[in-house]
Structure formats: C-alpha cells, structure tokens
Amino acid sequence: MNFLKDRDVLLVTIHQKEKVIKPLLEGQFGCHMHVSPLDTDQFGTFTREVSRQQSQFDTARRKVTMGLKLTNHRVGVASEGMFGFHPLAPIPWNTELVLLKDDELELELYGYYEGLNTNFSHTIVQDYPAALQFANQVGFPDHHVILRADDEHSSVILKDIMNESLLQEAFKYCFYKSTNRQVFIETDMRAYANPTRMKNIEIATRQLIEQANSLCPSCGTPGFRIVQKVPGRLCEQCHTPTKQIVQHVYACSTCQCQQTKDLEDIYASPRYCDLCNP
Ligand SMILES: [Zn+2]
Ligand SMILES: [Zn+2]
C-alpha cells in the first residue's frame, strides 16, 4: 500500500532540508513535496537565542502540526536535531528525527539517526590564526561557523560565515566589540550550513521510508515498527544470558497486532558476559 502516491506533502523547514528529504520521499512514493515558509526558529535555535521548550519529538510534531494548519495540507514532514554528548562518555553526539504526520490516515511515522558523526563544537580564541585553526578542524568552509564577541551569551553575533575573508572580517569585528579581548567561535548546526548534519538527516529519512514500507501483517497499515528490544543473547562460551539484544518486538500503531522476531545471531561474544568478563 503506497499511501503517499500522488499526494501533496508539506515539508516544514527554513534551513533547506528539502535538499535531502524531498528527492528521497518523492522518488520512493511518487508524492509532491511543498516546502513551507513557516519560521521554524520560533521553536528553538542552536545558537541559544530561542531555547527549545519541549522534547525533540514534540517539537517536530508541533512544527508539522502548525504547518499543516497554516497551509491546509493533510500530510506533512518536519525534522528536529539534537546535539550534546554521548550518555556515557564526553564525546559529541547527534540525534536527528524526521517525522511524517498524516491527518487523513491518523498516522505518525518516523526515522532516527543517532551517532557520533558530527562536528558540533566551540572554543574561545584570542587571535585570528587560532580562529582559522578551529575553523579548519571543523570542516570549514563547507561547514560554516558562527562568531560572537567574548562568550556564548554575547548579543554580538555573526552567522553565515562561509569563506576566509568573511571569517577574517567577523573575527576583527567581534574582537573589536569584545570587552575581554576574546572571541567565541562555534560550528553552525543549521542543516544547510552543515553537510555532516545533512547526511545524518538523510539517514533518518531513509529509516522513515523503511518504517513507511513496513506494513502491519494484520491490517496493512504502514508503520509496523520495533517497540521493544529484548536482551538475553547467550554467551557463546558459557551459555549464560547476556544483556545483548536477541529479539525485536514489532507492533502496529493502529490495531493490536504484535510480532516477535528473533535476530540472526543467537550467541554473544564472551566480552559481554558477566561471568566470562566480569
Ligand atoms: Zn560467558
Ligand atoms: Zn495493524
């Protein structure tokens, strides 16, 4: 069942996410995507002028709900990114969500990217060579940077710095405006300014497509998806159950249908075993 065939689908973004999302969804489903001019920065910016009030999922849902209301579409897509640190280690971490909401079928489908493939970082510099060095480390000029006078809270902020002469000018300006003779420099995480992030949004979109193509075996609704991961793979040495995942539980979002699927590997390496590798 191709529930999107020939339908008009809204895409809520002001940061050019259509570059990756539109060709993938149109190519896969034969729908027609229209980009909404809704100012998504009102829901939060990465540069802290507007802080996000809700969870990543709820923010994406608000974006798409508001977009559908304003444009009279019945089905729409929005995405929301999150940057921070890995839950267990001090390494930069990116989560991308792409959410599709269909008010006609009363369906929500989504895809995620979660991983450490990001250039998310910042530093404070006292001279231009140090600013340039930071920029080079984070993939400038393909990846843009943002500069501020003094620190991350300064209202003196320059964005869309995408070449060396702009970087030089921005540094001079922020340095001149600073009270501590220092400049705050950070990666620009807006999708169009950050090819690494755009790639992650693409991966999340592909996962959304996979979910849309996964139909409930009972009622045929798209979005038959993993709702639980069951641990218990056996240690291949001593056959004790480990915390490694052995089964996925799939469920339909519409009817009560559930299915449990065993993963191919039933044995885990002894390094995950509490007995063999305490
Ligand atoms: Zn063992
Ligand atoms: Zn079902």
User: How far away, in angstroms, is 223 Cα from ligand 2 center?
Assistant: 9
pTM more than 0.85: yes
Q: Ligand 1 centre from 226 Cα, in Å? A: 28
Dist. CA 115 → ligand 1 center (Å): 29
Q: What ligand has the least distance to the C-alpha of 225? A: 2
d(CA 199, CA 99): 16
- Per the DSSP assignment, residues forming a β-bridge with 12 are 36, 78
Burial (CB count <10 Å: 0-12, 13-18, 19+), residue 179: exposed
Count Cβ atoms within 10 A of the Cβ of residue 138 and give its class: 0-12 exposed, 13-18 middle, 19 or more buried.
buried
CA–centroid distance, 251 to ligand 2, in Å, is: 8
> Using CA atoms, how far apart are residues 220 and 252, in angstroms rounded to an integer?
9
Q: Cα of 19 to ligand 2 centre, how many Å?
A: 33
- ∠ Cα 150 154 155 (to 5°): 140
Beta bridge partners of 113: 96
Ligand 1 ion local residues (Cβ < 5 A): 235, 237-238, 270, 273, 275-276
Q: Domains of the chain by range and CATH?
A: 8-118+195-213 (3.90.950.10), 122-188 (3.30.1490.20), 226-272 (no CATH)
Strand partners, 197: none
What is the reported pLDDT for 202? 97
**Separation of CA 99 and ligand 2 centre (Å):** 20
Ligand 1: distance of its center to the CA of 227 in Å?
Answer: 28
Which of the ligands is closest to the CA of residue 1? 2
Give the model's pLDDT for residue 106.
Answer: 93
Which residues sit with Cβ closer than 5 angstroms to ligand 2, an ion? Answer: 216, 218-219, 221, 252, 254-255, 257
State the ligand closest to the CA atom of 257: 2
DSSP 230-245: EE-PEETTT--B-SSE
Cα of 246 from ligand 1 centre, angstroms: 16
The DSSP code sequence of 104-173 is: TTTEEEEEEEEES-----EEEESSHHHHHHHHHHTTTTTS-EEEEESSTT-S-EEEEE-SHHHHHHHHHH
pLDDT at residue number 265 = 84
Ligand nearest to C-alpha 219: 2
Amino acid found at 46? F
Residue type, 155: S
Give the closest ligand to the alpha carbon of residue 277: 1
- Ligand 1 centroid vs 268 CA: distance in angstroms? 9
- The per-residue pLDDT string of the chain (278 residues; one tens digit each, 9 = 90 and over) reads 789 999 999 999 888 999 999 999 999 999 999 998 777 777 777 776 777 778 899 999 999 999 999 999 999 999 999 988 887 888 889 999 999 999 999 999 999 999 999 999 999 999 999 999 999 999 999 999 999 999 999 999 999 999 999 999 999 999 999 999 999 999 999 999 999 999 999 999 999 999 999 999 999 999 999 999 999 999 999 999 999 999 999 999 899 999 999 998 889 999 999 999 88
Question: What's the Rg (C-alpha) of the chain?
Answer: 23
Question: What pLDDT was estimated at residue 130?
Answer: 98
Amino acid letter, 219: C
- Spatial separation of the C-alpha atoms in residues 159 and 47, rounded to whole Å: 10
Distance from the alpha carbon of residue 269 to the mean position of ligand 1, in angstroms: 8
Q: How far is the CA of 16 from the centre of ligand 2 (A)?
A: 35
